[in-house]
Amino acid sequence: MIDSLNLQPIAVVRSAFKEKFGIPRQPGLANSIISTIELLPEFASAEAVRGLEQASHIWLIFVFSECVDKGWSPLVRPPRLGGNKKLGVFATRSPFRPNPVGLSPVKLEAVRVEGNKVFLDVRGADLLDGTPILDIKPYLPYSDVIEDAEFAVADKIEKLDLPVVFSPEAKTVCELYEQNSGSSLTEQICDILSCDPRPAYKKNDSERVYGVKLHNFDIRWQITNDQIYVESIVSTGT
């Protein structure tokens, strides 16, 4: 029996998500956002990723790095249940676990070998910028898809069916970003806010203005009964 393991990260995530708040709670919910997995120097060889480009999707095994020193409890309150009901930690995807390890299936957009560096561009990752990656595996459609799988607690995707309305100032920032980057900041913000990042116990407060960081922007927004309103988008300069 192995009493302990010493696991070494093989890569790090370069992500638009600069803080935990606002990150979709599951992968694949913000598919407009592309993240990059950068292999660390010891593992960054073209040989190590040979053939991976044939996979449409990959598994990322990672460390909940922000939770390493936070401890764990056998019972947790899943946000999906409104934060009022408890489930066993092993019946949830809570990051506060005995071993703070997670896994996410993501769409592989590109494998890039640039000199002595190796990058994987992925779509739909729910990972904080700087997250350590422990392993990368190809997604196997014939075995990783279980057609009759069930889990009554979370049996469907939950997203808000509300229009996202941008203030004129916020809309201008989005237009400038798209001109300079070629990607849609509008779509990325819509993806994130439709996942409703608000804590469960605050969802009845339609007056509260929230902030979420994405790329180098501080985005201020609120959710009412009939819309998601993006009030401002301000560059943080970092």
pLDDT digits (tens, 9 = 90+) for 132-168: 999 999 999 999 998 898 888 877 777 888 999 999 9
pLDDT at residue 130 is higher than 90: yes
Pairing between β-strand 87-88 and β-strand 34-39 as defined by DSSP bridges: unpaired
Contact yes or no for 138/61 (Cβ under 8 A): no
C-beta separation of 49 from 137 below 8 A: no
Average pLDDT on 63-87 reads 83
Q: Above 80 in pLDDT, residue 65?
A: yes
Range 184-213 average pLDDT = 87
Q: Where are the beta strands (DSSP E) in the chain?
A: 11-14, 34-39, 57-63, 75-76, 87-88, 101-114, 117-123, 132-138, 164-166, 210-214, 217-223, 228-235
**pTM of the model as a whole:** 0.89
Please check the confidence at residue 82 and state whether its pLDDT lies above 70: no
- Listed as own residue / partner, the contacts of 86-93 with beta carbons closer than 8 Å and 24 or more positions apart are 87/153, 91/153, 93/25, 93/26
pLDDT attached to residue 198: 87
| Count of beta carbons in the 10 Å neighbourhood of residue 198 | 19
Domains and CATH numbers, the chain: 11-152 (2.40.30.70), 164-235 (3.30.2310)
pLDDT at 158: 77
- Is pLDDT of 83 > 70? no
The per-residue pLDDT of the chain, averaged, comes to 91
Residue 69 pLDDT class (50, 70, 90 cuts): confident
Least confident of 52-56, 98-102, 200-204: 200-204
Confidence of residue 106 (pLDDT cuts 50, 70, 90): very high
- Least Cα distance to 181 among 117, 235, 105, 126 occurs for 235
